Structure 1
Amino acid sequence: MNLFGMQISVLKGFAGVCLALLTAGFANSASMSSDHSLYEELQGPFDSIEDINTACVGCHNLSESELHDTIHWQWDGKLDVINNYHPNVASNSNACGSCHIGYGLPKNLTGGIEPAAVDCLACHDTSGEYFFSRFHQDGAECTMCHDDGAKALKNQVDEEGYRFKNFSLAEMAQMVGETSVASCGSCHFFDGGADGAKHGDLDSALINATFEMDVHMSAEGANLSCSDCHQTVDHKMAGSLYSFAGPTDDGHVSALKGPQATCVSCHGLAPMKDERLNEHTDTIACETCHIPTYARNGIATKTSWDWSTAGKLARKQKPLIHYDDEGRVTYSSQKGDMSYGEDLTPVYRWFNGEMNYQGVGMSVDPAQLNEINSPQGSAEDGKSKIYPFHQFESQLPYDTATNQLLPIHLAGSDRTAFWNGYQWVDSLQAGADAVGMEFSGEYGFTSTVMSRVINHTVAPAEMALNCNDCHTAPSAMAGIAGLYTPGTNQPGWLTKVGLGIALITLIGVLLHGFLRIIFSYRRK
């Protein structure tokens, strides 16, 4: 099999396993109050997925307008910022639209997404096959984002076989139900290039999580679904990287009475029996102790990505692809070099819930590590807490004449898309044109870092950080500005002096006791 054929086979295997993993979770979806298989409007046949949604809104006649006003539709923030995975949205709508809950995205996305037909099944399918059907109907490129774990997952398909029943569009329409971990995960687990790649605390293992993986989502624990915390009002969902409910949102409001996706919504401000531990909640976020490591479900997350090496081709101009021993892509012509990590210790920082995001064209210092986004907060502001973060580094292109980060036009049918022509100047010019940015034609690559707050994969209490993890050296909290941690911050010489005094005192007490015993015998 030639290299291209091998890639297609691998990618098909990956898509198959992704959806096979999802299918298992859909079986546990809560049933809705009506049996949609009885509705005449859903009997079909349907020529396209859009026809299903037309039938849906015939009854759910407010849903479209509600969704048009949500972050899931508008991508508030995402359209205007840059990231260091797939750097920008603006010129890559064909690819980005594969997870969008609507149709007919414009070629260049800037300034918002206009109202159009919604995609009901993206969230409400329970067959486990809809996402696969939509990808193929829309002609999405397999290599867009779901290739980096392909070989490892293809091996699983070969061992376990396919689990699909190949439902028709009408059958899928009749099987709609409430959202589930699997339906949410069909987008949120696999963004960034592979299962668990981007966030580090979201991956397909959560669909059937064990108690050690996540006490909230495990059937052995609270058996929660995503929507139990990310509750909705008129389809507006609580909890977002762009509208984070941070430590200042600390009122004890029950999640049953208000959509607050925070720990204190259910657990309050003093959730522990030991008052000494409860005192820590003034400065330490719950996640800091209760998510001691991440990417610990047996699924690795990406830790670095070097776009500067992308574009190398094999003989006869065929794309290259290299794997590690686990079957993960470590190099591809489309994306360059990538590395992964498992069971990682978070980076800890003060955070008040506000994140400073940079936009397309941000100024960079080529000699420094440039922050794409930066958590805001300090020990002095009175509202920050210490949170755990996943930090991800990437080499991104910038204009050497202006020292501005450049958007990359990656996907599409034209030759200027990098994944078609593998020409940096062409793709960078197309990306700049899409956002109305000047490009000198000269480019280089610079180091960048992104920080993502970690909220999921909460471990059991016995796996949480303990006193010694923070209060003995080396401390997990070492290096955090403005934090004094008893037991770790005193000078080394002071510790030695203290131990010396304690030792001399002990010797004196023992000697005194020994002499008293001797003299008591002499008196007798």
Structure 2
Amino acid sequence: MNKMTMAAAVICTALLATTATAKEHPGKASLEKSGYKGPESCEECHPGTAHAFLDTVHWKHASKVTNVEGLDPKKEYGMKNRVYVMCNGNDIVNNLKEIPKSPETGKTKFSGCNSCHPGNHLSDVGSVGAEAEKAIDCLVCHSTDYDFRQRKAFKDEQGRVVMGQDRSTKAALAVGKPTVKSCMVCHEAAGGGVIIKRGFSFTKETDVHAAKGMVCVDCHTAKNHKIPTGLDPNNWANDGLLLSCADASCHGAKPHKDADLNRHAAKVACQTCHIPRTGGAFAKDFTVWEQGSDKFYEPTTLKKEANETVPVYAWYNGTVRNTPHFIGPKGSKKDGKSKITPFKIFQGKAFYEKKSGALLSMDFAPPMANGDTRAGVESAARTLGMKNPAAVAKNAVPGWQTIYFGSNHLVTKTKALNCANCHAPNGVLNLKELGYSDKEILKLTSPEIYLKQLVEKQKEEW
């Protein structure tokens, strides 16, 4: 081997060693020596992080909400206390617990809306103080070797319900950037099962970002564990950080080479063209639960797989109309702020208070065990301190609520809508409902405005 070849080999070896070292999370020696002791170990290098995490939506499951009508701006709202028909319970009334035994099998199980809360349940949603800081499950998001078999509820020697955690040194030594699995373990299964609530699957086959090897936090990049999110009529709680495709760090305000397409971006949301399909549940009935093969009950649900549901389109300016029977976008063609945006329509049936017309929440434990939905309403009313819970449940009346879910994932480039998909007379946009006059519609649906462009594209494809 000559000197040049030997030098090259040495340099190559050094570079490989540097790469390996760069990927290794600091603190390995300390962990191997002392073992992993929970957040205490993390705080050796990240002091103050546990305390700061207690002020995030992932811990509080609530925040102040400024864009939804009818809410108290001084109070916090979210999964902790919301009542709506996708999840008719919340962390308060449907807190993690052991449900009653099935009268058919004698078996029970643990269930609760806060099952995904990154604590140990003894320090629950929104808790503060030293014990809460110690309870944080750092590794459930940050370890690529987390044993999810350990993350299950159990009763301790005092009979308290505890959420287990994998605090092994092995898991701690695999700390790194949260993966897609880290997020989707909770977010894909939210609302009662896989692809129920959000209706998307983040894989290379279903999303162009995943196909490029991106993970959730490449877009939802946290700042001090606060996660930026987009505006969705159904997604209320937030960390105060707004995420948009048009951010300078992403695609910018002029993402296309074609000036005509960039002009559309002023009035048409990116998702309108690039997310032509969605999926998930489109109807649920919380007044009637169906028995599964395990003899437990679940709300009657209709759902579609990812990319099966055609969205509806509406003007959206980021503010939300909120009533007991409707949650959806506010906006108009004339307000100067709105964009045409795609939504999945979800309709849910639940119980309403007879006198006030208010939507009632439900404790899922009773109906999950035996199908008695009014018992679930009574239990929730009792937890909330309502007067005469039995009467509330007995007199409750069924009703429907419609919710518009934002379409923000399942992004495609190759199957994006083209000019004719929107501008043809039988296009996907209902221009009349969007507020266009007959004269405007006649102009917007004429081939004159897109024929030349599509002919050129057709030649390229042929």
After TM superposition, is the score higher than 0.5? yes
**Matching residue of 2:88:** 87
Shift of 1:209: 1.5
Query: 1:164-183 alignment to 2 at 5 Å?
Result: 169-183=168-182
Deviates more, 1:301-310 or 1:98-107: 98-107
Query: 1:299-448 alignment to 2 at 5 Å?
Result: 301-310=280-289, 320-321=291-292, 334-342=297-305, 343-357=308-322, 362=324, 370-371=325-326, 373-411=327-365, 417-438=366-387, 439=389, 440=392, 441-448=394-401
Deviates more, 1:186-195 or 1:481-490: 481-490
**Matching residue of 1:192:** 191
Q: Unpaired runs of 5+ in structure 2?
A: 1-20, 63-76, 97-111, 157-165, 447-462
Alignment root-mean-square deviation, CA: 3.2
Shift of 1:490: 7.3
**Matching residue of 1:215:** 208
Whose helix proportion is higher, 1 or 2? 1
Q: Partner letter of residue 386 of structure 2?
A: M
Matched, 1:52 2:9: no
Distance in 2, matches of 1:282 and 1:410, equals 44
Shift of 1:264: 0.7
- TM-score by structure 1 length? 0.64
Shift of 1:93: 2.1
Q: 1:113 and 1:421, CA in 2 relative to 1: closer, same or farther beyond 3 A? A: farther
Q: Partner letter of residue 288 of structure 2?
A: T
**Matching residue of 2:103:** none
Q: 1:73 and 1:244, CA in 2 relative to 1: closer, same or farther beyond 3 A? A: closer
Q: 1:429 and 1:114, CA in 2 relative to 1: closer, same or farther beyond 3 A? A: farther
* Among 261, 271, 283, the residue aligned to 2:243: 261
Q: Partner letter of residue 391 of structure 1?
A: I
Distance in 2, matches of 1:105 and 1:357, equals 33
Matched, 1:239 2:210: no
Shift of 1:449: 1.6
**Matching residue of 1:288:** 272
Whether the 8 Å contact between 1:200 and 1:294 is mirrored in structure 2 is: yes
Whether the 8 Å contact between 2:89 and 2:113 is mirrored in structure 1 is: no
Distance in 1, matches of 2:270 and 2:170, equals 43
Distance in 2, matches of 1:485 and 1:278, equals 25
Shift of 1:263: 0.6
Q: 1:443 and 1:333, CA in 2 relative to 1: closer, same or farther beyond 3 A? A: farther
Give a deviation string over 1:294-350, Cα, whole Å, max 9, x none. Answer: 23xxxxx2121122222x6xxxxxxx327xxxxxx9xx8622422122421111111
- TM-score by structure 2 length? 0.71
Whether the 8 Å contact between 2:292 and 2:298 is mirrored in structure 1 is: no
Q: Partner letter of residue 216 of structure 1?
A: H
Distance in 1, matches of 2:59 and 2:39, equals 15
Shift of 1:245: 11
Identity of aligned residues (%): 28
Shift of 1:62: 1.3
Q: Unpaired runs of 5+ in structure 1?
A: 1-29, 140-166, 247-258, 296-300, 313-319, 323-328, 363-369, 412-416, 496-524
Secondary structure at the aligned position of 1:340 is classed as: strand
Secondary structure at the aligned position of 1:445 is classed as: strand
Distance in 2, matches of 1:339 and 1:113, equals 36
Matched, 1:34 2:25: yes
Shift of 1:436: 3.3
Distance in 2, matches of 1:429 and 1:136, equals 25
Secondary structure at the aligned position of 2:276 is classed as: coil
Larger radius of gyration: 1
Whether the 8 Å contact between 1:42 and 1:173 is mirrored in structure 2 is: no
Query: 1:16-165 alignment to 2 at 5 Å?
Result: 32-40=23-31, 44=35, 51-76=37-62, 77-78=77-78, 79-89=80-90, 90-94=92-96, 95-104=112-121, 112-115=126-129, 116=132, 117-129=135-147, 131-136=148-153
Whose strand proportion is higher, 1 or 2? 2
Q: Partner letter of residue 386 of structure 1?
A: I
